Amino acid sequence: MKIRKASALDTEEVKALWAYCFEKPSDPFFQWYFRELYTPETVLLGEEKGQTACDLHRRPYRLSVRGQVFDTDYIVGVATHPAARGRGYGSELLRSAFHMAAREGKPFVTLMPSAASFYLPMGFGFFVHQWERKTSPEHLAPLGRKPVSCRILSGEEGWQDLAAVYDAYTAERNGFTIRDESSWRSHIRGQLLEGYIALVYDEKGPSGYLFYSLDDRRMIVTEMAFARESGRRGLYAFMAGHRGSIDECIWYEPLDDMSFRYWEDGAEHTYIRNRSFPYMMARLTDPVTAFDGISCSGAAKGSLAFQLVDAFLPENSGIYVFRVEEGKISALKEDVFYSLKCHIEDISGVRLGPDIPEPSFCINAGSLAELFMGAADLPDLSRLEKIRWLTEDRAERDRVLSLAKAMLPKENNWMNEWF
């Protein structure tokens, strides 16, 4: 299969494949996506015998991860022509997308999986789950508090208020996208095609917003953010205010949110259904570029080495060493030096010392992505047997776990991009 970037000449075929697999051309989202977001050069296309076999869209985003801003690709619209399915073309196309991202200095990519079982063997790991919450307006009402004021946006004029709430909401979170004026205006236009945007205010100003739609007597919230608890309560009151016109509210909140501990009458189980919703996955394309330069705790001192096994991108497999230097991680791939060390030790029988450290554990690509994104720390992965220890020395294991936790602590992750 030949893989290449699409051009303007391929647009109709790209549209046809999207229409077959996702929305029809008459769908408002289809029309908006190809009018406002689509650019041919961000589509990777696979051809077999001159015919389009598959494609994917590389949506450019900037994400905040561990205090750094990274350029990345959000992969959407992975589609294979029905006549070309079952031949591994989709996997081959994704591998090319990973290589392209690495060449462009994007050390990881993200996607929202339709079937995680397809992507896990490719080295993806989940980095965002959310709570999906459902209840009737009547049962939500006791948790709400009437806001000082509320407005429904009819256009792009309220983007600054949305941005202010979003910035406050993400201030202590990780993995979220950086949104500027252009992206906010685009989000608003996309949402207002078939839905609504509500903003609530307290005495301090804009305090919360909802992106939502009304369908079959349900309010479906696709994005909720609040600057303060008064904003959350105001949004709950806004949703509860639809009693009589809807039967159910559905909304999503970050997995770190523990507000259900304070719901009345055991609402978590009796009145409000609260389940985890797997949402976003990440895949490292260049581990050294991803980790190198990340700031870490001043308590972190020393170095650790590990072996990465990456079956889908075998060129990434090898020995990696992380050292803390002036409060930042220095990441190196030590394959050549480690192989030379082993060779000399085998021949001479003399240990060469700690300058070229032995790997302490083995990890796969998906688990390394979770560690990088802050979805888990190394002690979590060890408890879940997602790493394999290469040392029997208990003291060394404890040292590595303690250092890794200081270097790469778990984060409160949240991201809410749907396209």
In a domain, 238, yes or no: yes
Q: Are residues 27 and 97 in the same domain?
A: yes
Asked which of 45, 80, 111 is the last residue of a domain, the reply is 111
Structure-token pair, residue 314: 């075998």
For the CA atoms of 160, 161, 162, 166, what is the dihedral angle to 10 degrees? 100
Report pLDDT for 156: 96
Can you read off the two tokens belonging to residue 24? 């029809």
Q: Would you say residue 182 has pLDDT above 80?
A: yes
pLDDT band at 355 (very low <50, low <70, confident <90, very high): low
Average pLDDT, the chain: 93
Q: Quickly count: other Cβ atoms within 10 Å of residue 163's Cβ.
A: 16
Residue 1 to residue 93: CA distance in whole angstroms: 9
Q: Looking at the structure, tell me whether residues 187 and 260 fall in a common domain.
A: yes
Q: What is the pLDDT of residue 253?
A: 96
Q: Are residues 313 and 377 in the same domain?
A: yes
- Is residue 145 domain-resident? yes
Sequence-separated (6 or more) residues with CB below 8 Å from residue 83:
none
User: How far apart are the C-alpha atoms of 180 and 178, rounded to whole Å?
Assistant: 7
**Considering 280, 304, 329, which residue would you say is the last residue of a domain?**
280
Structural domain of residue 78, as residue ranges? 2-111
What Å distances lie between residue 374 and 318, 345, 371, CA to CA?
22, 37, 5
The percent of residues in the chain predicted with pLDDT above 70, rounded, is 93
Do 222 and 310 lie in a common domain?
Answer: no
- CB-side neighbour CA atoms (13 Å) of 269: 3
Whether the pLDDT of residue 27 is over 90: the answer is yes
Judged against a pLDDT cut of 80, whether residue 341 lies above it is answered with no
Centre a 10 Å sphere on the Cβ of residue 301 and count the other Cβ atoms it contains: 13
Domain identity same for 355 and 232:
no
Using the predicted structure, report yes or no on whether residue 197 has a pLDDT greater than 70: yes
pLDDT at position 32 over 90: yes
Cα separation values, 289 from 1, 82, 293, 336, 346, Å: 29, 37, 8, 18, 32
Evaluate whether residue 336 is within a structural domain: yes
When divided into structural domains, the chain yields a total of 3
Q: Which CATH number do you get for residue 66? A: 3.40.630.30
| pLDDT tens sequence across 293-334 | 999 987 789 999 999 999 999 999 999 999 998 899 999 998
Q: Quick check: 264 pLDDT over 90? A: no
Q: Are residues 88 and 178 in the same domain?
A: no
Q: How far is CA 392 from CA 5, 360, 379, in A?
A: 49, 9, 16
Amino acid at 413: N
Contact between 148 and 202 under an 8 Å Cβ cutoff? The reply is yes
Q: What is the CATH number of the domain that holds 293?
A: 3.30.1050.10
